[in-house]
Chains A and B, each alone.
Chain A
Amino acid sequence: MSEVTTIDAREPRPRKAIFRLPGAGQALNKGLVVTYLGIMVLLPIVAITSKAFEDGISGFWDAVSAPQSVAALKLTVICSLIVVVINAVMGTLIAWVLVRDKFPGQRVINSIIDLPFALPTIVASLILLTVYGADSPLGIHLAFTKPAIVVALLFVTLPFVVRAVQPLLLSLDRDMEAAAESLGARKWLIFRRVIFPNLAPGIATGVALAFARALGEFGSLVLVSGNIPFQTEVASVYIRGQIEFDRLASASAVSVVLLAISLALLASVTLAQRWGLRHDR
């Protein structure tokens, strides 16, 4: 839901609310939000971090730098990066076609975009195995290879960029494009200087969310990735193994690394957007 912040950031500060809870005001509001987020999000994160450092910093480092863990983290990050690059391009393209073009079945396609969210990931995995496995009706035998991991991640993260870019495209003022055109700008220049800067925050948000999701993805990969240590074993499956053999501290340590990478990316996207806002207008 980060696209919300993206949009809000460009609007004037919210006016004072008229509705108040009985006997309380803004303070209670903030209190509620903080308490809720504290219980639902912060508490588990603090718990997992403290578990990760149960055996001290050296224990944490040993768990993270174990060869199998390094291999799994590397594979996960590389696959996720490939996925978000493809997503950034294809997601924007899909959003563009859905907003700017009119064609039969558009509404149906628009609602299909969200299906990867609704589908249980293990079912997604089973479907991908059927399509790309040994009995592939298409004759494509991707299953158990690194490309299979990318394909599975592309499937589950498809909606992020599309849904982040769509509202921005919808609210984009077409007069700007018309003005640019009347001033003699070529199509590519209009896209580069007028349209893209307006879509960039959405693309960035979508990319950040898709990346975070791809890092932690488990269900859709279980059947279709090879799970072979050092080859096709992603971080979440490695973590699963650590739990299976009661190395909870190690599982938490690798999880904390994933959390940190996600957090760093989300934070840098937010910073980049602020910088962009300040320097763009």
Chain B
Amino acid sequence: MSLSSSKKSRRSIQALLVLALVAFGAIVVGCGSSDDSSGGDSGSVNLVAYSTPQQAYEEHLEPAFNETTDGEGVSFTNSFGASGDQSRAVESGQKADYVNFALETDVTRLVDSGQVSADWQNNKYKGIVTNSVVAIVVRPGNPLGIKNFEDIVNNDDIEVVTPNPFTSGGARWNIMAIYGAALNSGKTPEQALGDVENVLSKTPTQSESARVALQAFIGGTGDVLLSYENEAIAAQLAGEDVDYVVPESTILIEQPAAVTVDASKAATDFLNWNWTDEAQQIWQEQGYRSVNPQLLDKQKFPVPADLFTIKEFGGWDKVADEFFGDGTGSVFEIVQDLGYSTE
């Protein structure tokens, strides 16, 4: 470790410095030119999506699309990651023809930056390719007999795993599901927030993301996990020993897809193909609810008697302020009170 000031090491440092600068220059020059344009040639699609549907795209949807006349010979370059990160990456210049996110606001970000057309929802399914619901993932056989959020609230010894609503967009769905289910069961907004507080007080951990929460639950933490139904099914498909319950009263999650303004024709074809019966069936096999009510497999995907959407609370913009706003949001205050009471 000890670098004596011998000539030999000085010489190699000099040589290394020159090398490093040259390499850095080469990287800047080499990558700079290819980074600024989005959209490829007609036969290729740069696909940027959130992490859960990776297997669905790579192993099922893309090969099936290649079998169609439009999709023949189309090649895909895939990128998967946390939904918000992926959207921000595209905003900052990552090549994208076709995007699929977990949250509508991640598409809105690209509309604001001019990369996705403002009329992206002008189609039959309003830009939504798949649906899901907030489900309760339980241990095999559901030993605690949990059927809905109320059961979690009323169980004093239960441990709940849910992501941190201040680092994970997905976590906010869970909280709004608990809140909405309580409201719709006839509780006042104050009582409904009481239910949210009750559930949050039973969390040994609030993971940074939905993926990490699933990881913690599979690792043995907690009695129930609040998650997307499609995450639960994906875990089962991956061989994990978990069961899940779809509550009678829960929130509908809509997952949007869009093409960028200078997308390849293949990307537009692929987006439209996603709404065909064939593609929607593949999505269903992978754990997502079809957006086409006629196709929805009601055996696999029980339709909750009381299925509500985020619009009931004024949409995400309003909810982000009222519930999760820094210092003033009602959920923020709950979390703050819980934190201080345990100090």
Contact = CB atoms under 8 A, between A and B. Distances in A.
Given A68-B326, A240-B208, A130 B18 contact: no
Interface stretch (B165-173, B226-234, B252-260, B267-275): B165-173
Q: Interface range on chain B: under 10, 10 to 19, 20 to 34, or 35 or more?
A: 35 or more
Contact of B167 (A33, A130, A237): A237
Contacts of A227: 164, 167, 205-208
B5 A14 contact: yes
A229 B166 contact: yes
Given A17-B11, A241-B167, A32 B21 contact: yes
B215 interface: yes
Interface string A24-46: 00000100110110011000000
Interface stretch (B116-124, B189-197, B303-311, B334-342): B334-342
Given A8-B5, A143-B205, A144-B204, A231 B220 contact: no
A129 B216 contact: yes
Given A163-B1, A223-B212, A231-B339, A133 B221 contact: yes
A135 B339 contact: no
Nearest to B7: A18
A230 B340 CA distance: 7
A270 to B, nearest CB: 17
B203 interface: yes
Contacts of A225: 205
A33 B17 contact: yes
Contact of A143 (B167, B208, B221): B221
Nearest to B109: A246
A36 B203 CA distance: 47
A103 interface: no
A115 to B, nearest CB: 17
B4 to A, nearest CB: 7
Contacts of B5: 8, 11, 14-15
B219 interface: yes
Given A227-B164, A240-B167, A240-B208, A8 B3 contact: yes
Nearest to A248: B88
Interface in A183-223: 222-223
B2 interface: yes
A171 B3 CA distance: 13
Contact of A135 (B215, B219, B335): B219
A163 B222 CA distance: 40
Given A134-B221, A228-B164, A19 B205 contact: no
A48 to B, nearest CB: 15
Contact of B335 (A3, A4, A133, A230): A230
B24 interface: yes
Nearest to A20: B14
Contact of B164 (A15, A17, A241): A241
Given A129-B216, A130-B219, A227-B207, A244 B168 contact: yes
B168 A66 contact: no
A49 B181 CA distance: 44
A265 interface: no
Contacts of A36: 17, 20-21, 24
A8 B207 CA distance: 45
A8 B203 CA distance: 52
A166 interface: yes
A245 interface: yes
B10 interface: yes
A223 B215 contact: yes
B63 interface: no
Contacts of A33: 17
A230 B339 contact: yes
A244 B204 contact: no
B84 interface: yes
A166 B1 contact: yes
A145 B163 CA distance: 16
B327 A32 contact: no
Contact of A241 (B1, B166, B340): B166
Contact of B205 (A11, A144, A163): A144
A223 B18 contact: no
Contacts of A18: 7
B177 to A, nearest CB: 19
Nearest to A129: B219
A245 B10 CA distance: 47
Contact of A245 (B1, B17, B166, B220): B166
A3 B339 contact: no
A226 B204 contact: yes
A21 interface: yes
A68 B164 CA distance: 13
B1 A3 contact: yes
Contact of B10 (A17, A143, A241): A17
Nearest to A239: B167
Interface string B201-245: 001111110001001100111100000000000000000000000
A19 B5 CA distance: 13
12 contacts: A8-B5, A19-B14, A39-B24, A66-B326, A67-B327, A144-B204, A227-B205, A228-B338, A230-B343, A238-B167, A240-B167, A245-B324
Given A11-B5, A171-B2, A223-B212, 12 more contacts: A4-B2, A17-B7, A17-B10, A17-B11, A19-B11, A32-B21, A67-B327, A133-B220, A167-B1, A227-B208, A229-B339, A232-B205
Interface of A: 3-4, 7-8, 11, 14-15, 17-19, 21, 29, 32-33, 35-36, 39-40, 66-68, 71, 126, 129-130, 133-135, 143-144, 163, 166-167, 171, 222-223, 225-233, 237-238, 240-241, 243-246
Closest 6 CB pairs of A and B: A230-B339, A241-B167, A134-B220, A14-B5, A135-B220, A19-B11
